[in-house]
């Protein structure tokens, strides 16, 4: 079965797609393994009126020896990105869909979008395998040749620091608020001494997180209550990736684990349409009924913290 990254973007988020691209550039053929280790996982931590969602037991960037850096000066940013490409074969740039011409959100809305810049025969290419359905229709993965530094300068503009929702997502990936917020250009660089901060005591994990979300959405009515529905879509994508990888990597799940997550995934797939419909209704001032959303989240809590990736292999090694 194919494991080519570009043809499987419907199992990824922009974050995991970019990290997978960097792993492939490093020579990792089983690029899904670091992205699935110890998962599926879901945790939520209060962040004022919002939540920080964590989709990995350990923050992926320090776990991979990476950190976010940035600059306001394009010459500085371009030199650093070029050095990463020369050294690693790829650079991960933290962009914004608003500035990416191939994205549905181009010139329409702002959202964080991580890209892997790789070298091919004809020059640099922006590798963006992510495939999904947006409010404006399907978004296919693409590999966009970069004509030159001026085009990359536009495509590499980072999302602003004023929107807390994307900032929380990136802080989750980094395990820290040290993500160069507000810099015009941001990218990933090696971290020679990565530190993983302890989880805050108020964080809810697994079944507790899902039940807390069920309670939160049961009483959601206004548009602001649906600002973070894409974080649950990210949770779905992690579970999609798990089952996809299990078809190609015998160590990912045993038979019982596959059956468990196939059952869970049927329920997870029902969530995004329900959440999107509720958000659109709330934005238009319509009546919102979230009982089915809350009931689905409550049911999904029963599947968490069981049959984790590579669990059967760890049991055999004891």
Mean pLDDT of 288-312: 95
pLDDT exceeds cutoff 60 at 285: yes
The CA distance from 210 to 217, in Å, is 10
Do both 163 and 280 map to the same domain? no
Do both 70 and 177 map to the same domain? yes
Do both 216 and 83 map to the same domain? no
pLDDT exceeds cutoff 70 at 41: yes
Query: Within 10 A of 69 (CB to CB), how many other CB atoms are there?
Result: 19
Q: What is the pLDDT of residues 127-180, one digit of tens each?
A: 999 999 888 888 999 999 999 999 999 999 999 988 999 999 999 999 999 999
Sign of CA dihedral 132, 134, 138, 140: negative
**Residue 183 lies inside a defined structural domain of this protein:** yes
Tell me, what DSSP letter sits at residue 37? T
Do both 77 and 220 map to the same domain? no
The range of the structural domain enclosing residue 218 comes to: 204-309
**Residue 276 lies inside a defined structural domain of this protein:** yes
| End residue of a domain, out of 190, 214, 234 | 190
Look up the pTM and report it: 0.94
Distance of CA 6 to the CA centre of its chain: 16
Do both 210 and 96 map to the same domain? no
Do both 163 and 273 map to the same domain? no
**Residue 81 lies inside a defined structural domain of this protein:** yes
- The pLDDT, as a whole number, for residue 1 is 52
Question: Domains in the chain: how many in total?
Answer: 2
Q: Say which residue the tokens 């659109």 belong to.
A: 280
**Residue 195 lies inside a defined structural domain of this protein:** no
Q: Alpha carbon of 256 to those of 240, 253, 260, 309: distances in Å?
A: 17, 8, 6, 12
Do both 149 and 218 map to the same domain? no
- The pLDDT, as a whole number, for residue 122 is 82
The CA distance from 168 to 191, in Å, is 21
Q: What is the pLDDT of residues 237-259, one digit of tens each?
A: 999 999 999 999 999 999 999 99
| End residue of a domain, out of 190, 216, 235 | 190
Mean pLDDT of 66-84: 98
Tell me, what DSSP letter sits at residue 157? B
Measured over all CA atoms, what is the biggest interatomic distance in the chain, rounded to whole angstroms?
Answer: 56
């Amino acid at each position: 079965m194919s494991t080519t990254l570009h043809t499987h973007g419907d199992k990824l988020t922009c974050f995991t797609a970019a990290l997978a691209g960097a792993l492939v550039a490093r020579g990792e053929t089983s690029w899904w393994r670091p992205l699935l280790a110890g998962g599926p996982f879901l945790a939520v931590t209060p962040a004022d009126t919002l939540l920080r969602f964590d989709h990995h037991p350990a923050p992926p960037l320090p776990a991979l020896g990476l950190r976010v850096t940035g600059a306001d000066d394009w010459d500085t940013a371009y030199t650093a990105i070029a050095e990463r490409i020369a050294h690693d074969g790829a650079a991960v740039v933290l962009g914004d869909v608003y500035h990416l011409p191939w994205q549905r959100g181009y010139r329409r809305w702002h959202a964080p979008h991580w890209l892997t810049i790789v070298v091919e025969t004809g020059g640099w290419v922006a590798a963006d395998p992510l495939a999904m359905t947006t409010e404006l229709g399907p978004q296919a993965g693409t590999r966009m040749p970069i004509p030159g530094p001026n085009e990359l300068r536009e495509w590499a503009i980072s999302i602003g620091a004023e929107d807390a929702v994307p900032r929380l997502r990136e802080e989750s990936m980094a395990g820290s608020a040290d993500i160069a917020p507000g810099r015009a250009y941001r990218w990933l660089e090696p971290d020679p001494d990565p530190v993983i901060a302890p989880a805050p005591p108020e964080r809810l994990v697994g079944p507790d997180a899902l039940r807390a979300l069920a309670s939160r959405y049961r009483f959601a009515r206004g548009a602001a209550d649906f600002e973070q529905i894409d974080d649950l879509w990210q949770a779905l994508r992690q579970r999609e990736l798990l089952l996809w990888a299990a078809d190609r990597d015998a160590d990912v799940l045993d038979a019982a684990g596959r059956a468990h997550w196939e059952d869970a995934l049927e329920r997870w797939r029902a969530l995004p349409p329900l959440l999107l419909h509720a958000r659109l209704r709330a934005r238009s001032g319509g009546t919102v009924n979230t009982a089915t959303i809350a009931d689905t989240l409550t049911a999904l809590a029963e599947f968490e913290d069981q049959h984790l990736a590579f669990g059967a292999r760890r049991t055999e090694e004891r």
